[in-house]
Amino acid sequence: MAPRRSKSLIVVLLLIIHIAACAHYPLNQQSSSFDKQGGYRFEHLKAGPHNTDKLFICLAFSGGGTRAAALAYGVMEELRRTRIRVDGEEKSLLDEVDVISSVSGGSFTAAYYGLFRERLFTDFRTKFLERNIQGELFARLLNPVNLARIASPWFGRIDLAAELYDREIFEGATFAQLEENGRPFVILNATNLGPGRRFDFTQEYFDAMGSCLDRYPVARAVAASSAFPLLLSPLSLKNYPLAPGYEPPWWYPKAEEPKDWFTRRYDAAKNLNFYKDKKNAYVHLMDGGLADNIGVRALLDAYAHGFIQQKILDGDIKRLVFIVVNARTEGEDRLSAKASPPGFCTVLEKTGTTAMDNYSFESVAQLRAELNKREQAQEDIIAANRRLEKCPGVPKFPEPKMVDMYVVEVNFKAAEFIGENPRYYLDLPTTFCLSKEQIEKLVTIGPKLLNASPQYKCLLKVLQAEAEGRPRPKECPMGAGITGN
């Protein structure tokens, strides 16, 4: 008996070793040549039938597990319900959304809409929001075959999660389908653990890696974007620098002047160099929240030196709107009333979240500051030229393309201003399993917070006045959409 049992044990062990040895994460594809126009990049996407550049809307969905996904979903429903008229055509605000930048939990809502559009409003709740995703992940993890697979150094818990998302939520879709669908351009943000920098699943990032994004599963990008540290393992990509004919982004040449070492352009060039370096053969990604938990940084880059800036300078964008859906929570401060210093677990939790929360706050503040700076420059030049009109023969100052700008933030902290208890939402956990009641409350509070935003109210008033041929409402002058009035 004993030898037979030993033989069985050996067979089982060999089987486990075989399964583990065969398990490997799917590799991203190498590009045969660089194609500046092709692939999943904003410039290459067609606008929808009701989408204009004149009104350019960008959404940012923060991280925060199902809480963030549900809040973003509620806001999407409200944008779909909100009717506007642009150039005589009636449509929904959602029709005018051009970009969605998302992180972690918010990436599920963003990617689902990018892929399946109207289906978001019919089956996303049952397919994702109301499901116990983390329970299903745990069950898959306990499957003996999967236990053997994750024993492989080339296959981790994140790959199991990606398989689940691919099969159950995203139906095997790749970036080619997102590309085919056109705008909105969905930017799924992750964090590259090597340099500790943001990584976007866009062809621009894949260009630098000599890789083609088209055939890459969207589910894997969402998994990387939401790979919560320690609970999930990093997701890996292969770096293949450089594709034949590769051209770096326009801002890159001459960016590395030693005298400019402190600038963001220099820093961005150094980050690009990471991917150009053959020594960095792999890119290991984790939750986008580690680099930017609110999704605003990718939009700021597009505004500063990317496709948004291009469209502004070409005079295409007349009205630029950023709607930031921030599902950030904040535990009640019970520390400051105690004489004894906080314990190990509290310190660990604060260490993990404090810097990230402050950075998120600063990201939105920077967005407002950047837009405010442009608004101020516009006002100064108009005022200066008005004065110069009194001086015949004196040339006027060159004017920039004028843009009417808005920053709308949906944040639980504002719940108190609409008679709701913010504590309920601020205490919700970050998890992929919330009750139906919690989901319902989140889906309901999103539209309320959106409609209560003074900047959003101004946007709707200005759009309505313009549609009716009336002058701009006095209570919403230029600039009121950024800082409020």
Partner 1 sequence: MTEYLVVKFPKPRKVLLNDNPLGNTNDLLPVDEGGKYTVSLEKPPYDFMPPEQEIDLHDTAPLNPLEVEFEET
Residues near partner 1 (CB under 8 A)? 250-255, 257, 260, 263-266, 304-305, 309-310, 313-315, 373-374, 377, 380-381, 384, 397-401
CA-closest candidate to residue 357, choices 300, 410, 414, 294:
294
**Closest CB to partner 1 among 88 and 258?**
258
**Closest CB to partner 1 among 4 and 254?**
254
CB of 277 to partner 1, least distance (A): 22
**Closest CB to partner 1 among 123 and 314?**
314
**Closest CB to partner 1 among 300 and 321?**
300
**Closest CB to partner 1 among 238 and 305?**
305
CB of 367 to partner 1, least distance (A): 14
Measured torsion, CA atoms of residues 11, 15, 17, 20, in degrees rounded to the nearest 10: -170
CA-closest candidate to residue 287, choices 42, 68, 59, 70:
68
- Per the CB < 8 A criterion, the answer to whether 450 and 410 are in contact is yes
**Closest CB to partner 1 among 17 and 369?**
369
Instruction: Copy the structure tokens of residue 185.
Output: 């351009």
Half-sphere exposure of 321 (CA within 13 A, CB side): 25
Peptide linkage before 299 cis (omega within 30 of 0): no
d(CA 65, CA 75): 16
CB of 315 to partner 1, least distance (A): 8
Amino acid at 276: K
CA-closest candidate to residue 133, choices 101, 111, 165, 167:
165
**Closest CB to partner 1 among 5 and 254?**
254
DSSP state of 174: B
**Closest CB to partner 1 among 167 and 373?**
373
Instruction: Copy the structure tokens of residue 425.
Output: 């939402």
Pairing of strands 235-238, 211-212: unpaired
CB of 322 to partner 1, least distance (A): 16
CB of 209 to partner 1, least distance (A): 21
C-alpha dist (Å) from residue 373 to 60, 251, 394: 21, 21, 26
CB of 250 to partner 1, least distance (A): 3
d(CA 52, CA 20): 51
CB of 48 to partner 1, least distance (A): 24
Instruction: Copy the structure tokens of residue 351.
Output: 């260490």
- Three-state DSSP at 111 gives helix
CB of 312 to partner 1, least distance (A): 8
- Per the CB < 8 A criterion, the answer to whether 75 and 109 are in contact is no
